[in-house]
């Protein structure tokens, strides 16, 4: 006799983890593809005192490994990791630019423009890049909302068409905002006094991020969250109804079986 209890338990635990992802599972792509590379850059540069070039190079290790792993193991590109890697490569190339202070200020727009173009291209290819960053805040580790999100993305839900339009719109808003910040930074670098532009560039960036949050949230993220909640609620109601019908049918069969002389049909 073969014992399968251990394997069955492990299989069940794995299936439960897949069906019920934790908050950490949802945030893992953001942590590995964005937080770790950015955090390691500042750790190498500020804590260890390495050069900007060295800090960028070392902080590229994780996104490079993630990109290669996705291509080899999963047969697909990891968009976030690839974008961060590309941005780091552009920054490495721009780090060789020196001399003219206005050119030094203008080159900072290279990062914003690279991210913006990457986001807009991802929308054109039908794989909006900002979706990966938006999903954890939508589902919050809730299994019902996770399932609702997947149905909406796959086209299996009634609100899928609207959801997909909002999904693309969210990435477009971010892409346009960052591209506008890039243009403003370049124009400012050659029209505004250098001392002013040193701090004004940060204002441009904060303003672009703030605008993207507000506009993207109002036009896309808010409606998307409502669609996810509605789909999760609808699915829950359907499950309860199906369960009630099953119980009722079972009660009818049991009553017929208990009645003398009554034939029970399947």
Contacts 24+ apart (CB under 8 A), 85-90: 85/60, 86/114, 86/118, 87/111, 87/114, 87/115, 87/118, 88/37, 88/56, 88/57, 88/59, 88/60, 88/63, 89/60, 90/114
Structure tokens at 150: 């997947």
Residue 46: pLDDT band by 50, 70, 90 thresholds? confident
Provide the mean pLDDT of the chain: 77
For residues 76-98, average pLDDT: 72
8 Å CB contact between 54 and 4: no
pLDDT at 73 over 70: yes
Residue 4 DSSP symbol: -
With b meaning 16 or more CB within 10 Å and e meaning fewer, what string describes 175-191? bbbbbbbbebbbebbee
Has this prediction a pTM greater than 0.75?
no
Whole-number Å distance between alpha carbons of 151 and 145:
10
Lowest mean pLDDT among 86-95, 162-171, 226-235, 239-248: 239-248
Q: What is the pLDDT of residues 177-221, one digit of tens each?
A: 999 999 998 899 889 887 888 788 878 888 898 899 899 999 999
């Amino acid at each position: 006799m073969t014992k399968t209890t251990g394997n069955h338990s492990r299989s069940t635990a794995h299936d439960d983890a897949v069906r019920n992802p934790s908050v950490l599972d949802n945030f893992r792509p953001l942590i590995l593809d964005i937080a770790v590379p950015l955090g390691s850059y500042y750790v190498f540069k500020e804590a260890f005192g390495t050069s900007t070039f060295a800090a960028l190079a070392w902080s590229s290790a994780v996104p490079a490994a993630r990109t290669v792993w996705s291509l080899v193991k999963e047969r697909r590109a990891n968009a976030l990791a690839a974008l961060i890697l590309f941005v780091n490569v552009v920054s490495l190339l721009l780090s060789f630019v020196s001399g003219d202070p206005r050119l030094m200020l203008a080159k900072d727009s290279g990062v914003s423009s690279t991210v913006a173009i990457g986001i807009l291209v991802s929308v054109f290819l039908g794989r909006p890049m900002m979706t990966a960053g938006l999903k954890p805040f939508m589902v919050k580790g809730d299994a019902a909302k996770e399932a609702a999100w997947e149905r909406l993305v796959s086209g299996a839900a009634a609100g899928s068409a609207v959801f997909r339009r909002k999904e693309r719109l969210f990435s477009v808003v971010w892409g346009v905002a960052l591209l506008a910040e890039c243009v403003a930074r370049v124009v400012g670098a050659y029209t505004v006094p250098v001392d002013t532009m040193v701090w004004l560039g940060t204002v441009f960036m904060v303003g672009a991020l703030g605008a993207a949050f507000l506009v993207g949230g109002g036009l896309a993220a808010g409606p998307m969250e409502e669609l996810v909640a509605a789909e999760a609620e609808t699915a829950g109601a359907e499950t309860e109804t199906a369960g009630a019908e099953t119980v009722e049918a079972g009660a009818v069969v049991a009553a017929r079986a208990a009645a003398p002389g009554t034939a029970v049909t399947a």
